[in-house]
Structure 1
Amino acid sequence: MQIIELLTPHYEAAWLPWAVQYFFLAGVATGAALLVSACVFGDAASRLRRLLPAAVLVLAVTAIAAPVSLLADLHQPFRFWHFYAHFTPWSWMSIGALLLPAFVALALAMCAAWWLGRPSWMRLLAPLMVLSALSITAYTGAEVMVVRARPLWNTLWVPVNLALTGWLAAVGVAFVLERFLPATQRPDASALQLLRAIGLWLAAALALATLGWAATGAAGLHPSFGEALRLATLFPVWRGGMLASALFGVVVIAALVRGQWRLERRGYTLVLGLGLAASAWAFRWALFMSVQGVPKYGSGLYLYNMPLGSDGLLGMLGVLGLFIALVAAASWALETWPARRQPALQGAAA
């Protein structure tokens, strides 16, 4: 009898759960930024304009929470200073250190302009906001795509899928957070139908992107699709995570398709919104965390158990707590000082 012993060295995960929270919140923030920028050019009585308060609330909360997750992922306080003291233009992380503060500043300026009732300021900021949101979308996607050691990530379809799932999650978060607006600011059923239509268009684009990824991979134009099939065949840790994410996403999108006459039910929009957000988060978990359970080279299995402390479960709960606290603070401010918001609505067509 021959006994073969396989020894697998212990590797620390390169991407911690903090990164999942950051890429999720950044995707939602860019989607909200694009929605806000579109809403400011709608007529005062249009359905698009009635979505503006909800879009602004999503943008304000995620634009603040996303950088906090990124700073936590850097492990050491003030480590971000190295990106400025030792700028490396060939590194997407270094480029992102310049793009992210600009995006956060523009997002907060856009929210402040809405709060102060300055629609003309918002229209001036909107083109810059769109360019900044697209730059964050490109940087976050490229940061993953450039990792050649992971053929699954090393394709242009990864940034595309990250963008579309993030923007679809922004629709879901808007469905959830609109209920925390004052009654006079909440979108009516017609505006919610428009939000649903935006979600359907994004879901269709995501389906086409997935088919494009599979078709180009089957044609041999990139190794990502073949690597996904190999991982699904050989490694249950990857297969289970991605299948669960895909099935959950299909169920939620099916609920979005069938929700035409149910959006007036508050419970339905809550479950639908949470489902859209959760499916986008699960996709990132499978993409970043599940794939790290398989080897880059050779055979074996990389063992990873999520810690319960700040680098794992506690950190994830902390981000959720920060998100809830920001929503509560924004809701309290909107209820306490409602008069400041009226010019933004009544003077929209000026």
Structure 2
Amino acid sequence: MQIIELLTPAYEAAWLPWAVQYFFLVGVATGAALLTSACVFGPSNGLRQRLLPTAVLVLAMSAVAAPVALLADLHQPARFWHFYAHLTPWSWMSLGAVLMPTFVGLCLLMCALWWLGKHKLMRILVPVLLLSTLSIVVYTGAEIMVIRSRPLWNTLWVPINLALSGWLATVGLGFVLYRFLPPKLQPDFETLHGLRNLGLWLATGLVASALTWGVAGIAGQSPSFDMAVRLFKDFPVWRISMLGSAVFGAAVVMTLLRGEQRLGAKGYTLVLGIGLAASAWAFRWALFMGVQSVPKFGAGLYLYSMPLGGEGLMGMLGVAGLCVALVAMTTWALELFPARKPAVGA
């Protein structure tokens, strides 16, 4: 009997868990920017105006935390400096070094204008913020899609799903964070119902995207689908992960569908919001960390064990703690220095 020994070299993951936090938070930030822009043009005392404080709170938290995670993922401060000292317009990462600070600055300016009650200036800023938001959606998606050595990434469905899942997480965090606002700024039942409807539309978009991706794969037009089928067949870890994701996603959608009368219960909105945000985060974990466990060439899996220090568990907890601190600081400022409300008809 012949014994064949297979040796798999140990490779460090190119994308660390910091990238998962960054792409999650920046997806939330783009969704919050779009929601804030839509609410700005709502009628005075209308549903969108009542949702505006929640949208601004989510925007302030995510717009500050996202670039912190990005800087941590760069590993070395010199890499950040090199983006500006040696600008390369053909690189999406280099373009992001310009697009991201612009987006963050516009988001914080929008939050400041709301706090000051400058409603007319907010409306003037909306077109610029929308353009910047679109640039971030394209940049973050293209940064992954251009990697041809990873068929599962090298597809248009990646930026589409990143955007839709990130915006669904915005809805989820809206359900979680609204309760931390001062009582007079918290949305009422009707407003929460509108936020739920938005979540349903986004969930429908994600389901339609997945079905279209599957149909294109069956028709032989999507190599990424073929890779997903191979992972499902050959690797039990991926099979369990994919089935678990499908079941969890279906449960979240069913909760959205059946929860219309429960929106007044804070426990329900908390569970629903965490579920929506967790779904978007888990999708990014599988996309970045899971895909890197599959060799670009050859067979087998790379074994990845998440470190407990700053590049792993502690880093993830640190980002979560930063988000909690930002929400606490923002709500404390609103309590101490209440936001000025725009005049009726402004």
TM-score by length of 1: 0.97
**What corresponds to 2:263 in structure 1?**
263
Structure 2: runs of 5 or more not aligned: none
Structure 1: runs of 5 or more not aligned: none
**What corresponds to 2:285 in structure 1?**
285
How many pairs were matched up? 346
**What corresponds to 1:343 in structure 2?**
341
Code of the aligned partner of 2:38: A
Q: Is residue 334 of structure 2 the alignment partner of residue 334 of structure 1?
A: yes
Say if 1:245 and 1:286, in contact at 8 Å, map to a contact too.
no
Identity of paired residues, percent? 67
Q: Is residue 3 of structure 2 the alignment partner of residue 3 of structure 1?
A: yes
Displacement of 1:240 after TM fit? 2.6
Code of the aligned partner of 2:295: P
**What corresponds to 2:93 in structure 1?**
93
1:255, 1:13 → 2: CA distance? Answer: 35
CA distances 1:248-276 after superposition (whole Å, capped 9, x unpaired): 12111110111110000011000000000
- 1:8-23 equivalences under 5 Å are 8-23=8-23
Q: Specify the SS of the correspondent of 1:342.
A: coil
1:64, 1:313 → 2: CA distance? Answer: 20
Say if 1:6 and 1:300, in contact at 8 Å, map to a contact too.
no
**What corresponds to 2:62 in structure 1?**
62
Q: More displaced, 69-78 or 111-120? A: 69-78
CA distances 1:73-115 after superposition (whole Å, capped 9, x unpaired): 0111252111111111111111111110010000000000000
CA distances 1:49-80 after superposition (whole Å, capped 9, x unpaired): 10000000000000000000000001112521
1:193, 1:324 → 2: CA distance? Answer: 25
- 1:97-108 equivalences under 5 Å are 97-108=97-108
CA RMSD in angstroms comes to 1.0
Q: More displaced, 99-108 or 215-224? A: 215-224
1:20, 1:238 → 2: CA distance? Answer: 18
Displacement of 1:196 after TM fit? 0.4
Q: Specify the SS of the correspondent of 1:51.
A: helix
Q: More displaced, 228-237 or 261-270? A: 228-237
Code of the aligned partner of 1:349: G
Code of the aligned partner of 1:129: L
Displacement of 1:40 after TM fit? 0.4
Q: Is residue 239 of structure 2 the alignment partner of residue 243 of structure 1?
A: no
Q: Specify the SS of the correspondent of 1:221.
A: coil
Code of the aligned partner of 1:342: R
Displacement of 1:237 after TM fit? 2.8
1:87, 1:241 → 2: CA distance? Answer: 39
Say if 1:58 and 1:170, in contact at 8 Å, map to a contact too.
yes
2:62, 2:19 → 1: CA distance? Answer: 15
Displacement of 1:130 after TM fit? 1.1
